[in-house]
């Protein structure tokens, strides 16, 4: 047993709860004996004794709502703490997990966040309250939820106002972590500026995407969003407010980036900016040969002067595909495009974009033609569109509005995101697209490579070992109540088949936006990084108060709760 496992040991929880029977004591002795063999045994014993003496003199264990209301209800905030209308905090984009909190904090200041966390931290082991920062709540499996804990609604934090700085060496904007990326884009564009790296959908908060990574078609060039942050203000699990960057408190800075909310609540972020282009040429072309498709994608992400955005997707057994594209794209060769049929085939669509300003219009087409001339797509399937920079970046929101109109946005989203090393991608595609997934009618399957050689190191983000790996996203929507192929059960079963296949260690595949139910699975996810991750947890959130919805660590001071669907 390693020291961090104290968090999850039911036996240790029993001590904390003082529900210790004779047989339990015997088991504890045997656990301790096991620990004594390890080098951290002394530390573990001290820790354990600390827990026992602490609980010895404390009040009987009181739980949940009563504690929340009586202890937190007297605290004074710049914003407000609510004990009613809690249901919306038990929902997320995934729409599969629903955990009701005891209270929601609507902070108006960073000190509100600090006060609530410090208040709970100071209750020590007499409380089992957890705290979940909630950005836009666009997680997929309850990651921003807490069962009877406190949700912090980060979007109500409007402090600080966005502050822009244009400098010789660094141009950036300071924002509240509850700010939506779309708002940052709007404000930056007013000054001719833009953040560099994006997600495909911009109605997500800064804190939410920085806690994961923020990977999309620009990541091959600029790294993920966590690569493009200069400084953070973080409230740790002890309630301390800490400013951190690569130079200052760098361990916390790296811990929090991609840290799944485990080490602190990001209150404020300093986002790198660059001059903004005005327009984008948005291009799609099809392949039937997977190897040619991936060779071209990898060629594009390694070529200097390449496109500004490189993604792609898989199409299995779809009809009338090119016709659907015609509402937003124009075929380069309309006659040839009419002759192409997609029925019954597995197709791979390259999607790229090149940004430009109107005065560059003459040579941008030439540049694009040169880039395209090096590729092996099916010539009749080249489609192109010219859009404003903002419309290109905000493209998923257009789809959102259409889906909302049809009542198809708030359905369950059993998404699965994987990071597949370049050396495994062919084998992966053969099995998954050839055998497991029979069609793509439930939603798109994204697939595109990134090169992490220039990504900052030491963050909490877990990726495959190889420099080049693919993001493969199965972005399914389930038809509510359906028992058929478009139903939740069927899609979850298919995801499990894919995940089971991915377990082969030689494939080196990792989950992105990871979701596991046991700490053992988290340990294999983090592999050699687990020790650092759990050490950081002990330093910055020793009672495991933060982000319980990720299910990595068990709150110290609680019974072992099973998360409910
Ligand atoms: C339509 C759609 C498209 C997407 N496209 C992409 C994409 O292209 N690339 C990509 O990388 N991801 C993508 N995502 C995934 C997205 O990045 C994550 O789901 C992200 O967590 C959502 O942000 P949010 O603000 O809703 O966070 P939430 O769901 O509210 O929170 C996510 C996690 O972060 C924690 N958290 C939230 N705010 C903070 C904070 N301030 N400090 C510390 N922890 C915090 C929460 O407790 C939770 O554990 C997409 C999601 C959707 C719904």
d(CA 181, CA 393): 10
> How confident is the model at residue 401, as a pLDDT?
96
Closest CA to 542 of 95, 2, 3: 3
Interhelix angle 10-17/22-36, nearest 10 degrees: 130
Q: Write down the pLDDT at residue 66.
A: 63
Q: Are strands 264-275 and 383-388 parallel, antiparallel or unpaired?
A: unpaired
Distance between CA 324 and CA 331 in Å, rounded? 12
| 138 included as an active-site residue | yes
pLDDT tier for residue 67 given thresholds of 50, 70 and 90:
low
As a whole number of angstroms, the distance between CA 133 and CA 239 comes to: 13
Distance in Å, CA 208 to ligand 1 centroid = 4
**257 C-alpha to ligand 1 centroid (Å):** 12
Q: Which of 31, 128, 138, 308 is catalytic?
A: 138
pLDDT tens, 154-173?
999 987 789 999 999 999 99
Show the 3-state SS of 238-252.
CCCEEEEECCCCHHH
Residue 251 pLDDT: 98
What DSSP line would sit under 180-245, residue for residue?
Answer: BHHHHHHHHHHTTEEES---S---SBHHHHHTT---STTHHHH--GGGSEEEEEEEETTS-EEEEE
Distance from residue 154's CA to the centre of ligand 1 (Å)? 12
Alpha-carbon separation of residue 173 from 111, 248, 265, 270 (angstroms): 21, 19, 19, 6
Among protein residues, the one with the nearest Cα to ligand 1's atom 53 is 138
pLDDT category at 345 given cuts 50, 70, 90 is confident
Tokens 């960073």 belong to 110
Residue from 99, 101, 181, 211 to probe ligand 1 pocket by mutation (most atoms less than 8 Å from CB): 211
Query: Judging by DSSP bridges, how do beta strands 264-275 and 171-176 pair with one another?
Result: antiparallel
Peptide bond into 356 cis (omega under 30): no
- H or E stretch at 255: helix 250-256
Pocket-forming residues, ligand 1, beta carbon under 6 Å:
92-93, 132-139, 143-144, 154, 177, 199-201, 204-205, 207-209, 211-216, 260-261, 265-266, 396, 513, 547, 549-550
Return the higher-pLDDT residue of 113 and 345: 113
* CA 473 – CA 471 distance, rounded (Å): 6
Comparing CA positions, the residue from 540, 557, 559, 551 lying closest to residue 146 is 551
Q: Which of 159, 200, 360, 521 is catalytic?
A: 200
pLDDT tops 50 at residue 304 = yes
Q: What is the tens place of the pLDDT at every residue in 352-380?
A: 999 999 999 889 999 999 999 999 999 99
Take atom 35 of ligand 1 and give the residue whose Cα is closest: 261
What is the percentage of the chain residues whose pLDDT exceeds 70?
87
Give 144 Cα–ligand 1 centroid separation in angstroms.
Answer: 9
Gap between the Cα atoms of 496 and 211, Å rounded = 25
Query: Which pLDDT value is given to residue 14?
Result: 42
pLDDT bin (cut points 50, 70, 90) of residue 189 is very high
CA–CA separation, 1 and 38 (whole Å): 8
CATH topology of domain 163-275: 3.30.465
> What tens digit of pLDDT does each residue of 5-52 get?
444 444 444 443 333 343 443 344 344 444 444 444 434 443 443 344
Instruction: Judge whether 267 and 241 are in contact, CB under 8 Å.
Output: yes
How far are the Cα atoms of 103, 117, 156, 266 from residue 84, in angstroms, in the given order? 7, 20, 17, 25
Among 159, 275, 266, 249, smallest CA distance to 212 is for 266
Arithmetic mean of pLDDT over the chain: 89
Ligand 1 centre distance from Cα of residue 42 (Å): 39
- Residues 422 and 469: beta-carbon distance below 8 Å: yes
Measured CA to CA, the distance from residue 48 to residue 52 in angstroms comes to 6
Residue 200 appears among annotated catalytic residues: yes
With bands split at pLDDT 50, 70 and 90, how would you rate the model's confidence at 335? confident
The confidence score (pLDDT) of residue 45 equals: 42
Residue 4 pLDDT class (50, 70, 90 cuts): very low
More confident residue, 199 or 161: 199
Contact yes or no for 388/186 (Cβ under 8 A): no
Q: Is the pLDDT of residue 105 over 90?
A: yes
Q: Give 119 Cα–ligand 1 centroid separation in angstroms.
A: 26
User: Nearest C-alpha to atom 11 of ligand 1 is from which residue?
Assistant: 214
Q: Considering the domain 279-512 in this protein, what is its CATH number?
A: 3.40.462.10
CB atoms within 10 A of CB 10: 11
Q: Where along the chain do its domains lie?
A: 163-275, 279-512
Q: Kindly give the interhelix angle for 41-56 and 10-17, rounded to the nearest 10 degrees.
A: 30
Measured in whole angstroms, the distance separating CA 57 from the mean position of its chain's CA atoms is 41
* Tokens 């990504």 -> residue: 455
Distances (CA, A) of 98 to 84, 384, 469, 513, 563: 16, 42, 33, 18, 9
Quote the tokens at residue 481.
């109540």
In this predicted model, what pLDDT tens digit does every residue of 377-388 receive, in sequence order? Answer: 999 999 999 999
Which residue's C-alpha comes closest to atom 46 of ligand 1? 144
| DSSP secondary structure letters along 380-429 | GG-EEEEEEHHHHHTHHHHHHHHHHHTT-SSS----EEEEEEGGGHHHHH
Q: Please, which pLDDT band fits residue 256 given cuts at 50, 70 and 90? A: very high
Q: What is the pLDDT of residue 64?
A: 61
Q: Which atom of ligand 1 is nearest to the CA of 136?
A: 26
Ligand 1 pocket mutation pick from 207, 227, 415 by most atoms within 8 angstroms of CB:
207
pLDDT at 1: 36
Q: Which of 311, 351, 394, 541 does the annotation list as catalytic? A: 311
């Amino acid at each position: 047993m390693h020291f961090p496992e104290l968090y999850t040991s039911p036996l240790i929880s029993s001590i904390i709860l003082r529900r210790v029977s004779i047989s339990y004591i015997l088991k504890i002795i045997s656990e301790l004996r096991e620990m004594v063999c390890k080098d951290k045994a002394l530390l573990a014993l001290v820790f354990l004794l600390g827990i026992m003496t602490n609980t010895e003199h404390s009040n009987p264990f009181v739980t949940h709502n009563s504690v929340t209301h009586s202890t937190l209800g007297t605290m004074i905030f710049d914003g407000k703490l609510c004990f009613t209308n809690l249901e919306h905090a038990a929902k997320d984009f995934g729409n599969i997990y629903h955990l009701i909190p005891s209270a929601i904090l609507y902070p108006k200041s960073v000190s509100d966040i600090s006060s609530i966390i410090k208040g709970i931290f100071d209750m020590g082991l007499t409380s089992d309250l957890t705290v979940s920062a909630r950005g836009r709540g666009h997680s997929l499996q309850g990651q921003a939820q807490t069962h009877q804990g406190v949700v912090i609604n980060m979007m109500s934090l409007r402090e600080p106002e966005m502050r822009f700085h244009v400098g010789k060496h660094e141009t950036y904007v300071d924002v509240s972590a509850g700010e939506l990326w779309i708002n940052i884009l709007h404000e930056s564009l007013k000054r001719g500026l833009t953040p560099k790296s994006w997600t495909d959908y911009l109605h997500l908060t800064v804190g939410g995407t920085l806690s994961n990574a923020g990977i999309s078609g620009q990541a091959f060039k600029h790294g993920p969003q966590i690569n493009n942050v200069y400084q953070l203000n973080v409230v740790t699990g002890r309630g301390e407010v800490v400013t951190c960057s690569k130079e200052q408190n760098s361990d916390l800075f790296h811990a929090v980036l991609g840290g799944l909310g485990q080490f602190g609540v990001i209150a404020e972020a300093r986002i790198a900016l660059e001059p903004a282009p005005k327009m984008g040429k948005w291009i799609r072309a099809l392949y039937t040969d997977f190897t040619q498709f991936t060779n071209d994608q990898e060629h594009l992400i390694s070529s200097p002067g390449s496109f500004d955005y490189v993604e792609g997707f898989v199409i299995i057994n779809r009809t009338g595909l090119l016709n659907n594209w015609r509402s937003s794209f124009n075929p380069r060769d309309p006659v040839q495009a009419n002759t192409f049929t997609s029925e019954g085939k597995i197709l791979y669509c390259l999607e790229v974009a090149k940004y430009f300003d109107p005065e560059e219009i003459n040579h941008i087409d030439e540049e694009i033609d040169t880039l395209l001339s090096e590729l092996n797509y099916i010539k009749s399937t080249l489609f192109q569109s010219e859009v404003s920079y903002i419309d290109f970046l905000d493209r998923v929101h257009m789809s959102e509005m259409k889906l909302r109109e049809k009542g198809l946005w708030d359905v369950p989203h059993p998404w699965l995101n994987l990071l597949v090393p370049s050396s495994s991608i062919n084998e992966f595609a053969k099995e998954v697209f050839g055998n497991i997934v029979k069609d793509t009618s439930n939603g798109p399957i994204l697939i595109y490579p990134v090169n992490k050689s220039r990504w900052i190191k030491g963050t909490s983000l877990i990726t495959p070992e190889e420099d080049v790996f693919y993001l493969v996203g199965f972005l399914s929507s389930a038809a509510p109540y359906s028992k058929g192929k478009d139903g939740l059960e069927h899609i979850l079963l298919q995801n499990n088949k894919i995940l089971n296949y991915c377990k082969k260690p030689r494939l080196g595949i990792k989950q992105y936006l990871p979701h596991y139910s046991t700490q053992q699975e988290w340990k294999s996810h983090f592999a050699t990084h687990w020790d650092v991750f759990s050490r950081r947890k002990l330093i910055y959130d020793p009672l495991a108060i933060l982000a319980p919805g990720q299910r990595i660590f068990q709150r110290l001071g609680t019974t072992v709760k099973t998360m409910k669907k």
